[in-house]
A and B are shown apart, each in its own frame.
Chain A
Amino acid sequence: MPRQPMPQQDPKVRAQNFNEVALGYTEEQAIAEAKRCIQCKKPTCIAGCPVEIDIPAFIDLIANGKFDKANEKLKETNSLPAICGRVCPQEDQCEKVCVFSKKNEPIAIGRLERFAADWEMRSEPPLNLPLTKGEMSRSDRGSEKVAVVGSGPAGLTCAGDLAKMGYAVTMFESLHQTGGVLSYGIPEFRLPKSIVQFEVDGIRKLGVDIQVDALIGRTLTIDELLKKGYKAIFIGSGAGLPQFLKIPGENLGGVYSANEFLTRVNLMKAYLFPEYLTPVKIGKKVVVVGGGNVAMDAARCALRLGANEVTIVYRRSEAEMPARIEEIERAKEEGVKFKILTNPTRILGKDGWVSQMEVLKMELGEPDESGRRRPVPVKGSEYLIDVDTVVVAIGNNPNPLLPREIKGLNVEKWGGVVVDPATGQTSIPHIFAGGDIVSGAATVIEAMGAGKRAARAIDRYIRNPSK
């Protein structure tokens, strides 16, 4: 039996709106898809999940129509299933190691996860089940305080797991809105903000105290947190300063980092300007530089904001693009153009505003340290393209603020916090870290996995600080 297709908004329609693209399985589809799972005796899929969801169990519950139980099963190990079901790269994780993936199409684990998670919210009135406390629940540690810095995927997971263990957790967020990259970065049409807030509410209901407008290192220092009695601190402050191409013209008007562009659109709702006061400027022709999910998000936002022509410029070929295949396909369906094996060399301006971009053709050479074939410039192949807006989406460095502020914290040359990968513990025993602040730009689920590992390690540390 083939894999159930995901119902989607029509590409022509959705390129004009910010509503969610993928509409989610119906009950019938979910049951049919869940019944494809053969319930392996020794399932391989679980090992592919960074947060160790009991995948066969939740799928079996869906197959039997027990959607609420399926949701509970998910939440035993994953505090944010509605988010993971939407943005995890399942094709590289659980679905990649599904036994079906060898001969057949793998079970649509991600779509089923989303279905079960959405079931809770779609019920009328919303069920809003408490997160089950599961096996980790221990009631003897209620008085110990832990601070979590950042409310993105790493922080939310760490805070949720610690709260389930019985700790008194305060999560500090510097923005006015919780969710980190889930709120400011990933667009509404891929991850509706109401879903993020629903999941955050779930974490809050576990007893996590959430403080927004609180930049740790400035509003409160790490020392002040320790003085206030926090026994351990988890830093999940995420991706920071955007990388630029370091070519002439990058500071012209109309040149955005992807972070800025997406923050204007997603967090500040610039697509509703002037009702919302934050502006964004979209000309007729938009070029997005980069080949990751962030580049796809930016390109698709630009289309929805009314650009006539949106082009992805990427220096390698499509095979090397780090974006999910699904996202590349959706971008193409919506009309985003792709200029591969092309690299910008300078940005030209008129009256302070970008007007043209000089690009250079590339060809693929020998594989580099990442294993991908290295792009090599084709000499003398420069040419100009007309452009009104440029979005640079070539990655971020970790947020610089806390690594700079905390004395004695070991930090990599490129800014990442050095941790023990198994525990997230930093060079300062009571400080743990995980997510993009450690790894540079990575995926939501990897950040969640790091948050989960750190929560366990923090528990061990608080019970036995000398170890």
Chain B
Amino acid sequence: MYKILNKQRLYENIVKLDVEAPLIAQNAKAGQFVVVRLDEKGERIPLTIADHDPNKNSITLVLQEVGASTKLLGKLEIGHWILDILGPLGHPTEIEKFGTVVCIGGGVGIAVIHPIVKAMSEKGNKIITIIGSRCEDALIFKEDNKAHSDEFYITTDDGSCGRKGFVSDELKALIDKGIKIDHVIAIGPVPMMKAVSNVTKAHNIKTIVSLNPLMLDATGMCGVCRVTVGGVSKFACVDGPEFDGHQVDFDELSNRLTQYKDKEKIAFDKCERCGTHPPTPSLDKRGGAAHKLHQIGDRRKRG
């Protein structure tokens, strides 16, 4: 069980949670993720680690309330518990001295690009950071990213802050200006990572993207997270989550992400109806077998 130490609503539907998870906090590195299961009936959902603090034994998760599971997580308050968190998972981001590195975050991706910005900067790279969101209010982790960047750009869909347009437009403008870029890393919605990869492919700039497909165990067992990279199936949980953006089949990824859209709506509507979900996982969940067996015995007797 993992305790919520801090909670902050960053935007209408974006929540930041600091969660007590000592082992994960000790071993986490930039680019890794966790799998979270809220309670006994919860889904296992992957979330990228936005920050970790080994001294406070905590990790930071930033989530966008898009479905039932994230909605329920968003309802947690300080002092509540998450039943299961597994991590840190996946390969960490390759942090090297590349030269000029462009770090791009879109939507909640802005939160999870920030540890990479920091690590790349500490490695001695020149950092150009581009963050983008729908509007100014949805720009999260602005100062955290800015603090470690040599150059810092903002784009918004509605033009309420920075350039009106997408992060890929800003990137293209930089390339067109003749700025030499050695390495790009982009985290955000699939269409954004696809657009960024398309821009850099034409200029042959190495581009890393962090993929967030559906996952269950996230330890290399179930295969639901398979993505086509360079024409072959890769498993994001153990081979990724980061891949060469020029090789990723983004359209297939988008399609696989929407497999359960109808079911997600059913679950979401139900959780909306239920109002606040009591985040009270049963304490004896791993020791309640004897009780359940009792019931089976009863059923057999009747049957």
Q: Could you tell me the distance in whole angstroms from the C-beta of A193 to the nearest C-beta in chain B?
A: 8
CB contacts under 8 Å to B, within A273-318, are 273-279, 281
Q: Could you tell me the distance in whole angstroms from the C-beta of B119 to the nearest C-beta in chain A?
A: 18
Which stretch of B3-11, B40-48, B106-114, B175-183 is in the interface? B40-48
Judge whether A200 and B238 touch: CB under 8 Å.
Answer: no
Take A201-B287, A277-B41 as given contacts and tell me if A124 and B294 are in contact as well, using a CB distance cutoff of 8 Å: yes
Judge whether B289 and A212 touch: CB under 8 Å.
Answer: no
Judge whether B217 and A126 touch: CB under 8 Å.
Answer: no
Which stretch of B132-140, B153-161, B193-201, B219-227 is in the interface? B219-227
Take A121-B293, A178-B286, A253-B259 as given contacts and tell me if A260 and B222 are in contact as well, using a CB distance cutoff of 8 Å: yes
Judge whether A218 and B88 touch: CB under 8 Å.
Answer: yes
CB contacts under 8 Å to B, within A1-35, are 19, 23-24
How many A-B residue contacts, CB cutoff 8 Å? 160
Set B235, B267, B295: member contacting A241, Cβ < 8 A: B235
Decide yes or no whether B77 CB sits under 8 A from chain A.
no
Main DSSP-derived SS at the B contact region: mixed
Decide yes or no whether B244 CB sits under 8 A from chain A.
no
Decide yes or no whether B172 CB sits under 8 A from chain A.
no
Residues from chain A with Cβ under 8 Å of B88 in the complex: 218-219
Judge whether B286 and A210 touch: CB under 8 Å.
Answer: yes
Judge whether B216 and A197 touch: CB under 8 Å.
Answer: no
CB contacts under 8 Å to A, within B270-285, are 270
Judge whether B263 and A399 touch: CB under 8 Å.
Answer: no
Inter-chain CA distance A190–B290, complex, in Å, is: 19
Which stretch of B120-128, B163-171, B203-211, B250-258 is in the interface? B250-258
Which chain B residue shows the least CB distance to A194?
Answer: B292
Which stretch of B79-87, B95-103, B141-149 is in the interface? B79-87
Decide yes or no whether B24 CB sits under 8 A from chain A.
yes
Inter-chain CA distance A213–B89, complex, in Å, is: 11
Judge whether A23 and B300 touch: CB under 8 Å.
Answer: yes
Which chain A residue shows the least CB distance to B291?
Answer: A194
CB contacts under 8 Å to B, within A300-356, are 352-353
Residues from chain A with Cβ under 8 Å of B227 in the complex: 251
Set A200, A218, A254, A257: member contacting B89, Cβ < 8 A: A218
CB contacts under 8 Å to B, within A247-269, are 250-254, 256-257, 259-260, 263-264, 267-269
Judge whether B255 and A274 touch: CB under 8 Å.
Answer: no
Judge whether B68 and A277 touch: CB under 8 Å.
Answer: yes
Judge whether A274 and B84 touch: CB under 8 Å.
Answer: no
Residues from chain A with Cβ under 8 Å of B260 in the complex: 279, 281
Contact residue range for chain B? 35 or more
Judge whether B296 and A192 touch: CB under 8 Å.
Answer: yes
Decide yes or no whether B118 CB sits under 8 A from chain A.
no
Decide yes or no whether B66 CB sits under 8 A from chain A.
no
Decide yes or no whether A432 CB sits under 8 A from chain B.
no
Inter-chain CA distance A194–B256, complex, in Å, is: 33
Q: Could you tell me the distance in whole angstroms from the C-beta of A14 to the nearest C-beta in chain B?
A: 12
Decide yes or no whether A220 CB sits under 8 A from chain B.
yes
Decide yes or no whether B65 CB sits under 8 A from chain A.
no
Which chain B residue shows the least CB distance to A261?
Answer: B222
Residues from chain B with Cβ under 8 Å of A250 in the complex: 233
Decide yes or no whether A401 CB sits under 8 A from chain B.
yes
Judge whether B222 and A126 touch: CB under 8 Å.
Answer: no
Take A128-B290, A174-B217, A212-B286 as given contacts and tell me if A277 and B238 are in contact as well, using a CB distance cutoff of 8 Å: no
CB contacts under 8 Å to B, within A177-222, are 178, 184, 192, 194-195, 197-198, 200-201, 210, 212-215, 218-221
Judge whether A213 and B294 touch: CB under 8 Å.
Answer: no
Inter-chain CA distance A184–B221, complex, in Å, is: 10
Judge whether A400 and B238 touch: CB under 8 Å.
Answer: yes
Which chain B residue shows the least CB distance to A269?
Answer: B41
Q: Could you tell me the distance in whole angstroms from the C-beta of B37 to the nearest C-beta in chain A?
A: 6
Judge whether A215 and B267 touch: CB under 8 Å.
Answer: no
Q: Could you tell me the distance in whole angstroms from the C-beta of A185 to the nearest C-beta in chain B?
A: 9
Judge whether B293 and A174 touch: CB under 8 Å.
Answer: no
Decide yes or no whether B266 CB sits under 8 A from chain A.
yes
Decide yes or no whether B69 CB sits under 8 A from chain A.
yes
Take A210-B286, A212-B84, A239-B221 as given contacts and tell me if A194 and B27 are in contact as well, using a CB distance cutoff of 8 Å: no
Set B289, B293, B296: member contacting A200, Cβ < 8 A: B289
Judge whether A194 and B219 touch: CB under 8 Å.
Answer: no
Decide yes or no whether B264 CB sits under 8 A from chain A.
yes
Decide yes or no whether A160 CB sits under 8 A from chain B.
no
Judge whether A213 and B41 touch: CB under 8 Å.
Answer: no
Judge whether B293 and A126 touch: CB under 8 Å.
Answer: yes
Pull 23 A–B residue pairs with CB atoms less than 8 Å apart, ordered by A: A174-B217, A178-B286, A194-B293, A195-B293, A198-B290, A198-B293, A201-B287, A201-B290, A219-B86, A219-B88, A220-B23, A244-B226, A251-B226, A253-B255, A257-B222, A260-B216, A263-B216, A273-B267, A274-B68, A277-B267, A279-B263, A352-B255, A399-B219
The 5 closest A-B pairs by CB, nearest first: A197-B289, A279-B263, A257-B223, A352-B255, A194-B292
Given contacts A176-B86, A274-B267, 15 further A-B contacts (CB under 8 A): A174-B217, A174-B219, A175-B86, A194-B292, A197-B292, A213-B84, A218-B27, A221-B27, A240-B221, A242-B223, A256-B224, A260-B224, A263-B216, A268-B44, A281-B260
